[in-house]
Chain A
Amino acid sequence: MADHLLEVRNLSVEFHTAMGTVKAVDSISYHVDRGETLAILGESGSGKSVSSSAIMNLIDMPPGRISSGEILLDGADLLRMSAEQRRQINGKRIAMIFQDPLSHLNPVYTVGWQIRETLTAHGKSSAEAQTEALRLVTRVGIPDPEHALKKYPHQFSGGQRQRIMIAMALALRPDLLIADEPTTALDVTVQAEVLALLKELQRETGMAVIIITHDLGVVTEIADRVVVMEKGALVESGTVREVYKSPQHPYTRKLIAAAPGKGEMHEPHSKGEPALSVRDVRKAYGGFQALKGISFDLMPGETLAVVGESGSGKSTLARILLRLDEPDGGSALWKGRDLFTLAPAELYKLRRDLQMVFQDPTQSLNPRMTVYQLISEAWVIHPDILPRPKWREKVAELLVQVGLSPDHMKRYPHQFSGGQRQRIAIARALALEPQLIVCDEAVSALDVSIQAQVIALLDRLRKEMGIAFIFIAHDLPVVRDFADHVMVMQKGEVVELGTVREVFEAPQQEYTRALLAASLDPDPDVQAALRAARMEHAS
């Protein structure tokens, strides 16, 4: 057993909080060998990042405490080493990259300086560091490397920043690289590129990789073995294929079942007049063209998915349809009336019909209002919907409808979990009895298993109440089981618009195909096919 590169044995970490002592991880064990990739899979609150923080000596003590276990690097226990010994291991033998490269790079120093620092901190001369930094930045594929070294982190795109983080981490050819959700904040096409780069570099250097992720697709794409964590405990481990094909633990089974994109696709049979008819919407911010003439129709009771990467203009479109931003041109006919030219008084009346659910329920619910106040605010603003004595009853009814309980009424948003908060936000939208709900990345901030539940809820509401949805997402698989029509956007333009089957099974445009190929499927066999398709694209 001693010949593993890194072995974690019975590690327990506790944190002291207001609620008492919390066991963040409870007696977990795993190992990783040279040249191998281990994935740690878990949702938020599973403690999946805690063991890596313990490996890197990044846990603040207090409030944290390592209550038991050992972490063996080539047989030597890291937890028994002095701070100075561990400092020498960090960066040199074990390196780490993080989820959000913008905040993890120091904003006031050039990237060249930051890469060189890794080298000089471990004894390289500054001349050596300079040549090495240039080589690294070139290797990870940053354009114009000489010049790039003199630039600051904010001058790069998200994908480039993550490449710079990788260059910095690999500067000293570490034996082990820990990647904590390295691609979560990136667009799908960029995510595929970054993962491919990591794999290549691993082949070159023979290092071991631990990748921490919530995304089964990422696991399948990059890992050899996987351990699954739930609430601080390690519930399952094995090769990726074993775990996917024959999961042993109920939680793993639930996670795999929740992965989107496996159900029946909708077959829309639209007839009659569209409820919303959008023509040639344009919007510019300064010199930047955010929307370059968007047109589409939405039938009553149907779901239109709008899919695009960051900068595609999809959120701008949502804001403009709800008049949170003013368009520069175009029209949007809702039941024959142009939303863009309505006077404030008329707009106020129409607000009832059009509602919105936002991306992050933590931010879209006023933290100082109770659930009752949040939902009944709709009737304060539109007093003719419901007389005050009936409010309590109706709030209770709405809460049940979205899968919460009536006695949650007196609570504040921060007392709920992310998924529950999004249910409250949906109940609030329903309070106005709308006919169209715009969901702006409404499930992106949620865990996969919760995503599935919220999407199922929205689909049920559509069937039962005949509400139409515009569902904005950055990821294609999420919308597959839910949408009737799909509109793919890129750089402010509509690339492709068709029924969900057309777009998924016979995409006409190159960009749509690239998007489909870049999305990561949790099934190892499907993923292998996708990878082949990506290679084809690249060549």
Chain B
Amino acid sequence: MTAHTTESPIAEEPGVIRRFGRMLLADKFAFCAAIFLIVMILLAIVGPSWFGDIAIKQNLRGRNLPPFDWERGWIWWMGADALGRPLLARIIVATQNTLMVAAGAVVISAVVGTVLGLIAGFSSPRVNQVIMRLADVIMSFPSLLIAVIVLYLLGSSILNLMLVLAITRIPVYLRTTRAEVLEIRERMFVQAARVMGASSKRILFRHILPVVFPTLTTLATLDFAYVMLAESALSFLGIGIQPPEITWGLMISQGRQYLTNAWWLSFWPGLAIILTTMSLNLLSNWMRIAFDPVQRWRLEMRGSTNG
């Protein structure tokens, strides 16, 4: 048995975590975005318990206090709102609701959409038709309008808001998953598994889902930004989150009437939204390349030249 081939030697490869870490370092924008998002998530977790009290404590002497007043404590650096509550603290506290609604909606829509997509991709043409038509109905109407109407009919609460936003985003995952399943199902390695006698369950979870997963993760990251903007818009219009709960969108809305004399009331929460959505967009762009074996070299090359 010395039939060893004279073909090219086999390349060594670093482990997965180190590899992705290196690729993240190679893209400075994505790296900053990841750090920023981690900080935001930490704030969302600890924010309300650490800053909950100071964020609702009214301080009539500090009404519409302008920002950059270095004399006061750091919590006042962004100024204060019409009731003299420090904006920085309020933004930190609002992080939780803002991210939670978006995260909830993304998780629900991603899970439901993926499951429906797998079913549609794997079942009889009739079931497939029904599911796709339902998706078309949802997609054929602007999501914000659906949300407005449903929230009007059902009343608005954090849970309803999450559900409504989730429903409007389900078709995105459904269509992607279904299209990918239909394509991957015909790939040779799935056929090979069938020839070996693999069950549908094994083919689905061992062969198809791992291939679809990176695409879905990229999509969910992008969608997180989209859902956050939608929630902000709804809260801004007054049919989303209701006071005394706060989100960034609601804070912009509350600051709107003081625009001419206290611009910072609306400016800071807007900036928070922009930075977060931008980080999500950047990270999703990075994922698109990092998860794609064909494009990955772009990041790895940059990583190696940077040292």
Mark A residues whose CB is within 8 Å of B. 16-19, 45, 322, 324, 347-348, 351-352, 354-356, 358-360, 363-368, 377-378, 380-382, 400-401, 403-405, 408, 411-412, 414-417, 419-420, 423, 425, 428, 432, 450, 453, 456-457
Contacts and interface: CB of A to CB of B under 8 A. Distances in A.
Nearest to A359: B188
B190 to A, nearest CB: 8
25 contacts: A45-B8, A322-B195, A324-B194, A352-B197, A355-B195, A356-B195, A358-B188, A359-B188, A360-B188, A365-B189, A367-B189, A368-B211, A378-B196, A381-B193, A381-B198, A382-B197, A401-B1, A404-B5, A405-B4, A415-B10, A416-B10, A417-B5, A420-B5, A450-B5, A450-B7
Interface in B263-278: none
Interface string B154-197: 00000000000000000000000000000000011101111111
A358 B196 CA distance: 13
A377 B13 contact: no
A423 B1 CA distance: 14
B210 interface: yes
A276 B3 CA distance: 31
B29 interface: no
Contacts of A414: 293
Nearest to B299: A18
B13 A415 contact: yes
B191 A368 contact: no
A378 B202 CA distance: 12
B260 interface: no
Nearest to B296: A18
Contacts of A450: 5, 7
A417 B3 CA distance: 16
Contacts of B297: 17-18
A276 to B, nearest CB: 16
Contacts of A356: 191-192, 195
* Size class of the contact patch on chain B: 20 to 34
Nearest to B193: A377
Contacts of A411: 10
B207 interface: yes
A400 B195 contact: no
B207 to A, nearest CB: 6
B300 interface: yes
Given A368-B211, A403-B1, A403-B5, A324 B188 contact: no
- Classify the secondary structure of B's interface with A: helix
Contact of A358 (B4, B192, B202, B301): B192
A17 B301 contact: yes
B17 interface: no
B196 A364 contact: no
A366 B189 contact: yes
B124 interface: no
Contacts of A382: 196-197
A408 B12 CA distance: 11
A381 B189 contact: no
A368 B301 contact: no
B7 A417 contact: yes
Contacts of B301: 16-18
The 4 closest A-B pairs by CB, nearest first: A351-B197, A403-B3, A364-B188, A363-B188
Nearest to A449: B6
A417 B9 CA distance: 9
Nearest to B192: A364
Contacts of A364: 188-189, 191-192
Contact of A351 (B7, B191, B196, B300): B196
B191 A324 contact: yes
Nearest to B302: A18
Contact of A420 (B1, B7, B188, B293): B7
A47 to B, nearest CB: 14
A503 B13 CA distance: 49
A364 B300 CA distance: 27
A438 to B, nearest CB: 9
Given A18-B304, A365-B192, A423-B5, 12 more contacts: A18-B300, A358-B192, A363-B188, A364-B191, A368-B211, A377-B196, A381-B202, A404-B5, A408-B10, A428-B192, A456-B3, A457-B3
A417 B8 contact: yes
A45 B8 CA distance: 10
A177 to B, nearest CB: 32
Contacts of A415: 10-11, 13
B10 A358 contact: no
Interface in B290-307: 293, 297, 300-301, 304
Residue in B1, B10, B199, B211 with the greatest tally of chain A CB atoms within 10 Å:
B10
Given A18-B297, A381-B202, A382-B197, A453 B5 contact: yes
Contacts of A453: 3, 5
Contact of B293 (A19, A366, A367): A367
A168 B191 CA distance: 40
B189 A355 contact: no
A11 B297 CA distance: 26
Given A351-B195, A355-B195, A368-B210, A363 B202 contact: no
Nearest to B10: A415
A437 to B, nearest CB: 10
Contacts of B187: 363
Contacts of A428: 192, 196
A19 B210 CA distance: 27
A468 B70 CA distance: 85
Contacts of B304: 18
Residue in B1, B3, B13 with the greatest tally of chain A CB atoms within 10 Å:
B3
